[in-house]
Amino acid sequence: MAAVRTSSEIGLNRVAIVAVLVVTIIFLAPIYWIASTAFKPRNLATTIPPTVVFQPEISPFVKLFTKRSQMRSPPTPEEYAAAPWWERVVFDGGEKIVRDGKGQVQWSGYPSRFLNSLIIAITSTVLAVGMGTFTAYGFSRFKVKGEADLLFFILSTRMLPPVVVAIPMFLMYRAVGLNDSHIGLIILYTAFNLSFSVWLMKGFMDEIPKEYEEAALVDGYTRMEAFFKIVLPEAATGIAATAVFCFITAWNEYAFALIMTNRRAQTAPPFIPSQVGSGLPDWTVIAAGTFLFLLPVAIFTFLLRNHLLRGMSFGAIRK
C-alpha cells in the first residue's frame, strides 16, 4: 500500500531539504574556497570579486613540494625546452627550482612535515585507542576499587585547556630531550586522547552484553581469547568512532606542535602558516598545502562512515 502523505507533510519535507542544503553550503564553502584556490594561477588567487571560472593549474602543488628562487631574467628558450613539464610551470611564474650541486631537485619542507603528521597522528591514535579499549574493558567488566574516582580522575585531565600546561611541558620536554622528536608528540597526543578514548570505549563496552564472553568462557576459551574473538568484533563500531575522533584531534593539533617542534618532528599544522611569513605570500601554495592536509581525514572518515553512523547513534537504538 502506498503511503498517503498530506500536502503539509510534503511542504515540511521541502523546508527540511532547503534547510539541509543551506547548512551543507555553509559547511562546504570554505572547503570549496581552499580547493579552488589550490588550483588557481597566482594572479587570480586574490582578486576581488573572487574568480570562479579559471583554467585550473597544477603549479601550486609543484611549488608546494619544491624549493624555488626568483629569477632575475627569464630562462633561455634552450633551458625552457630542456626542462620537464613541472619545471616549466614554475618558470611561467618567474621562478626556478633550486637544485643542489649534483643537479638534484631540492624538496620543500612540506613532504617531510606531512609525513611527520601521518606518523605522529596514526601512532598516537593506535596507542590511545588500543590502551583505551583495554582500560575501558577492565572498567566495564571487573570490579575496580574506586572505579568512579579513577574514571573521574582520567576525565579530569581534560578539564583545563591544554595550553595552560604548555610552558611546563616544554621545559620538561627540553630537560629530557623530547622536544622536536616524534616520540615526544606521540606521547603528548596519546595522553590527550586517552581520557577521551577510555570514556568513549567504556560506553561502547557497557553496551556489549557480558553474557557473550561468559558463554565463551564456559565454552572453553580463556578471557583473552573471548576478548579477541567476541568482544573486539562487537566493539568494532565503537573503536572506529573513537579512532576517527582521536585521529582528527591529533591531526589538527596546532599549539603544542608549534611549541614543541621546529624542524625534525614538525607537523603540517604549524608548518603551513609559517609559509605566510616569508615575503609576499603565495596563497595558492598555502591553499594547496591545506587541501592535501584535508585529504587523509576525509579518506579515513569516508572509509569508516558505516561504523561512524552506528557509532554516533549508539545507545539511542535498543535491541
Partner 1 sequence: MAHIQLKNISKTFGNHTALTGLDLDIADGEFFVLLGETGAGKTTTLRLIAGLEKPSEGQVFIDGVDVADWGAAERDVALVLQQYSLYPRYTVRENLEFPLKPKIRRLPDAEIKDRVDRAARTLRIEHLLDRKTDKLSGGEMQRVSIGRAIVRKPRVFLMDEPLSALDAKLREALRTELKNLQMQLGATFLFVTHDQIEAMSMGDKVGVLNHGRIVQTGTPHEIYNNPRDTYVASFVGSPPMNLIDGKLVNGRAVMAPLNFELPFSGAAKASAATDGRPLVFGIRPEDVYLESGAPVEARVHDVENHGVEKILTLRVGDATLRATVPARTDVAIEQAVRFAWNPDKVVLFDKGSGVSLRHAS
Instruction: Name, in order, each residue with C-beta under 8 angstroms of 44's C-beta and a sequence gap of 6 or more.
Output: 51, 54
Per-residue CA distances from 225 to 133, 198, 206, 213, 219 (Å): 15, 21, 19, 9, 11
By beta-carbon proximity to partner 1, the closer residue of 27 and 142 is 142
By beta-carbon proximity to partner 1, the closer residue of 56 and 233 is 233
- Spatial contact of 34 and 294, defined as CB atoms under 8 Å apart: yes
Per-residue CA distances from 3 to 9, 11, 15, 91 (Å): 12, 16, 20, 64
21: its cell numbers: 542544503
Alpha-carbon gap, residue 316 to 295, rounded angstroms: 31
Smallest gap, in angstroms, from Cβ of residue 234 to partner 1? 7
By beta-carbon proximity to partner 1, the closer residue of 79 and 149 is 149
DSSP category for residue 101:
T
By beta-carbon proximity to partner 1, the closer residue of 200 and 235 is 235
By beta-carbon proximity to partner 1, the closer residue of 54 and 212 is 212
Instruction: Name, in order, each residue with C-beta under 8 angstroms of 302's C-beta and a sequence gap of 6 or more.
Output: none
Smallest gap, in angstroms, from Cβ of residue 224 to partner 1? 11
By beta-carbon proximity to partner 1, the closer residue of 141 and 158 is 141
Smallest gap, in angstroms, from Cβ of residue 215 to partner 1? 5
Smallest gap, in angstroms, from Cβ of residue 13 to partner 1? 31
Smallest gap, in angstroms, from Cβ of residue 210 to partner 1? 9
Smallest gap, in angstroms, from Cβ of residue 249 to partner 1? 29
Q: Which residues bind partner 1 (CB under 8 A)?
A: 209, 211-212, 214-222, 225, 230, 233-234
Alpha-carbon gap, residue 190 to 168, rounded angstroms: 18
